[in-house]
Chains A and B, each alone.
Chain A
Amino acid sequence: MLAARVLGTLAVLLVLSIVIFAMMYMAPGDLVKNLLGNRASNPDTIAAIRAQYHLDEPVVTQYLLWLKGLLTGDLGESIRLQVPVTEAIGARVGITAAMCAIAFAMSVVVAVPLGVISAVRAGGWTDRIGNALSVLGLSAPTFAVGLLLLYVFAYYLPILPVYGGGDGGLDTLRHLILPGITLALGLGAILVKLTRTAMLRELEADYVTFARARGLSERTVRNLALRGAAIPVVTGASLVLTFLVGGTVLAETTFSLPGLGTLLEDSVLFKDIAVVQALTLLVAVVIAVIALLADLAYLLLDPRLRDRIGVDS
């Protein structure tokens, strides 16, 4: 069961890597010219490009060499920035990771308790506010929220920076607050919905009724239910992650943050294919790994599943 799951993930990644490799050939225009970018086009440089990308080999060999490069950490070179792709990504990954961490922390701290209270007092005013907020959060595109914050904080309340990534340390952290809040709203909306639905279902379960019948305090009962509700919420992680990837691009573009999102956006516009390929694959790998971890978290959270998997495998 678990082995099949891992193999399935690897298969999906392999197919994706073929599609991503093929992107090089699907881009309109002449392949060599695309790979040359702004560099001068003369017989020498063309020959260098053909050698660098093994263009004279059969396509399958090209793909295998490219894959080998990926696995050994050689992601090619950015034609726009004139540096290795690993370097371009390495320089920007920190700011994106920090922004996502801030957004994630903020949304969990607010959304999970809100979702729990909404479920416990279903129909009450907390529930209504939570529901309104989550509909709004799902309906307001990240960039619209971002632009509104940008306007308010640039014009009426100039206490937080609204542009760029700052110059390291605490200054960068301050620059990340507004993009973080922007992302957190959408994330929180998804989390409130997930938590509320899961919690409602758990509260109707037999074990909750039984726990109440035995006279356990409402607090203890709620903690029990929350543990059961954690499973569907963790499974929802893939949903959260998919949102996060798109949201990162939008939030970084809105606040001109030099992160991976803007790197992707710029590289796509410039047709800097090596960077686009590397980033797409990176995201696919991260999503696949997190989905796998979410499945493993299942096992930690629900002892019943451990037995079932033991039987199946």
Chain B
Amino acid sequence: MTAVAPTRARSRRLPPASVLVSLAVLALALLAVVLGRFLFPDAMHQDILSSTLAPGEDGHLLGTDELGRDVLAMSVAGAASALVGPIIIAVGSMVLGVILGTLAGYERGWLDSVIGRWTDLLLALPVLLAAIVVGGVLGGGYWVTVGLLILLFSPSDIRIVRAGVMEQSARPYIEAAQMLSLSRWRVMFRHILPNVASLVITNMMLNVAFALVAFSSLSFLGVGVAAGTADWGRQLTDNRAIMFDNPAAVFVPAALIVVVAVAVNLVGDWIGQRLSQVGEEA
């Protein structure tokens, strides 16, 4: 007991400052996602007279873009498009990973080989290339791109869950559960799953950051988000031409992408460390 106490005490201590700041950043970003459209209902309002104002001019704190839209309002309103997609991508890929990875790791046999070959195939394709080609040639919209990225992100989740499940399946408590002739679904999802949850959650957080970068890269290239939409990646492309007249129109959305991605990465790493500590204590 005494040996355990210091670890407990440490885990109750506040997280490091960088993580606290990151959590605050994420809270603000989520607030912008939820409240963006109420805070700036006329973010998309165009005004040809105030086209491309520099920051501070005419009451526009960050200036305006080529169509006279306020950059500050656009950037807050753009949070929804830039963040909802990546979150759904990470969660969707996690769900796919949990289902297919658990089946592959617990059932083994032909199901495992089929799922294994499927992940091999998806891993042979670079995410961005596949998304550009499929999205561009088939002309996919926002949700098609999200669906495509869920598919392309899933192999890493499947592999991680599969490895975790295989490791757990060999343990005595699973043998005991099998002896009690619990149904295989009960064993898989009530007994094994909670024990691989820490891996799954950590990977999901890191996937949010990757998805944010990938998704904004695609909107920068014009895939997934229509021209003129309030979306951080799209704003960068749309405003490139006026970069030298109003740098804020490009660098504010760019900085927002970087800051949010860094915050997600730091929080993800921290959660990963916390969960693996808890695992060691148990």
User: In the complex, what's the smallest C-beta–C-beta distance from B83 to chain A, in angstroms?
Assistant: 14
Q: Which of B43-51, B197-205, B215-223 contacts A (4 or more CB under 8 A)?
A: B215-223
Bound: A8/B266 CA distance, A: 37
Bound: A284/B213 CA distance, A: 22
Q: Does residue B176 face the partner (Cβ distance < 8 Å to A)?
A: no
Interface residues of A in 258-283 (CB under 8 A from B): 264-265, 268-269, 271, 273, 276, 280, 283
Q: Are A246 and B127 in contact (CB under 8 A)?
A: yes
User: In the complex, what's the smallest C-beta–C-beta distance from A143 to chain B, in angstroms?
Assistant: 5
Q: Are B209 and A139 in contact (CB under 8 A)?
A: yes
Q: Are A136 and B262 in contact (CB under 8 A)?
A: yes
Bound: A271/B137 CA distance, A: 6
Q: Are A276 and B137 in contact (CB under 8 A)?
A: yes
Q: Are B128 and A136 in contact (CB under 8 A)?
A: no
Chain B: number of interface residues, binned into ranges = 35 or more
With a cutoff of 8 Å between Cβ atoms, the chain B residues found around residue A135 in the complex are: 262, 265-266, 269
Given A135-B266, A250-B221, A141–B137 Cβ distance below 8 Å? Answer: no
Contact flags A129-170 to B (C-beta < 8 A → 1, else 0):
000000110111111100110110011000000000000000
Q: Are B124 and A268 in contact (CB under 8 A)?
A: no
Given A28-B139, A139-B213, A148-B254, A284–B125 Cβ distance below 8 Å? Answer: yes
Bound: A280/B134 CA distance, A: 11
* The residue from A148, A265, A284 contacting B124, defined by CB atoms under 8 A apart: A284
Query: Which residue of the partner chain B has the closest CB to A238?
Result: B123
Number of A-B contacts (CB under 8 A): 121
Q: Are A268 and B132 in contact (CB under 8 A)?
A: yes
Q: Does residue A242 face the partner (Cβ distance < 8 Å to B)?
A: yes
Interface residues of B in 22-50 (CB under 8 A from A): none
Bound: A8/B119 CA distance, A: 13
With a cutoff of 8 Å between Cβ atoms, the chain A residues found around residue B240 in the complex are: 147
Bound: A283/B126 CA distance, A: 9
With a cutoff of 8 Å between Cβ atoms, the chain B residues found around residue A27 in the complex are: 137-138
Chain A: number of interface residues, binned into ranges = 35 or more
With a cutoff of 8 Å between Cβ atoms, the chain A residues found around residue B120 in the complex are: 8, 12
Q: Does residue B275 face the partner (Cβ distance < 8 Å to A)?
A: no
Given A147-B236, A280-B133, A15–B221 Cβ distance below 8 Å? Answer: no
Interface residues of A in 31-77 (CB under 8 A from B): none
Bound: A105/B49 CA distance, A: 49
Q: Are B265 and A246 in contact (CB under 8 A)?
A: no
Q: Does residue A116 face the partner (Cβ distance < 8 Å to B)?
A: no
Binding site for B on A (CB under 8 A): 8, 12-13, 15-16, 23, 26-28, 135-136, 138-144, 147-148, 150-151, 154-155, 238, 241-243, 245-246, 249-250, 253, 264-265, 268-269, 271, 273, 276, 280, 283-284, 287-288
Interface contacts beyond A147-B250, A268-B137, A276-B136: sample of 8 additional A-B pairs, CB < 8 Å, sorted by A = A27-B138, A143-B217, A151-B244, A246-B126, A246-B217, A249-B128, A250-B221, A268-B132
- 16 A-B pairs (CB sep. < 8 Å): A12-B124, A23-B133, A28-B139, A138-B213, A141-B217, A141-B258, A143-B217, A147-B243, A242-B127, A245-B129, A249-B129, A250-B217, A268-B136, A269-B222, A276-B137, A287-B124
